[in-house]
Structure 1
Amino acid sequence: MNDGTITLPWLVIRQDDNGNRYRVGRYATRAEAQKIADSLDERGHKQLYWVERIGQNGVK
């Protein structure tokens, strides 16, 4: 990271009632991404939220 770029390897993914998946955001740390996923999940909607690292499960 000495070239001035910021790496955001952690994604929050949302899956709706129809099985469609969307990227909610990208984050620098797993803890930061998990905090967002947990706060969205606490809203009580039927969507699922989880955290993935870029490159995991084919996510780029």
Structure 2
Amino acid sequence: MNDGSPVLPWLVIRQDDNDNCYRVGRYATEEEARQLADTLEAKGHKQLYWVERAGRPTPL
């Protein structure tokens, strides 16, 4: 089933100091998602960022 929407299976997730997790964005490729996560971490954000494929959560 394809409605013409772009497929964006890669997620960037942020975990804050209270262990709350939020989706930062969705991306077409793993590389795009990793670049954003790396950029956010490099800017000194104290939260934890990671990349996962939609539908396949990474165990914490």
- TM-score range relative to shorter protein: 0.7 to 0.9
Quote the sequence identity (%): 68
- Gaps in structure 2 of 5+ consecutive residues: none
- Gaps in structure 1 of 5+ consecutive residues: none
Moved over 4 A (4+): none
1-structure distance, mates of 2:3, 2:19: 39
2:53 alignment counterpart? 53
Cα RMSD over matched residues?
A: 1.7
Q: TM-score, normalised by structure 1?
A: 0.85
| Cα displacement (A) at 1:44 | 1.1
1:10 alignment counterpart? 10
Q: TM-score, normalised by structure 2?
A: 0.85
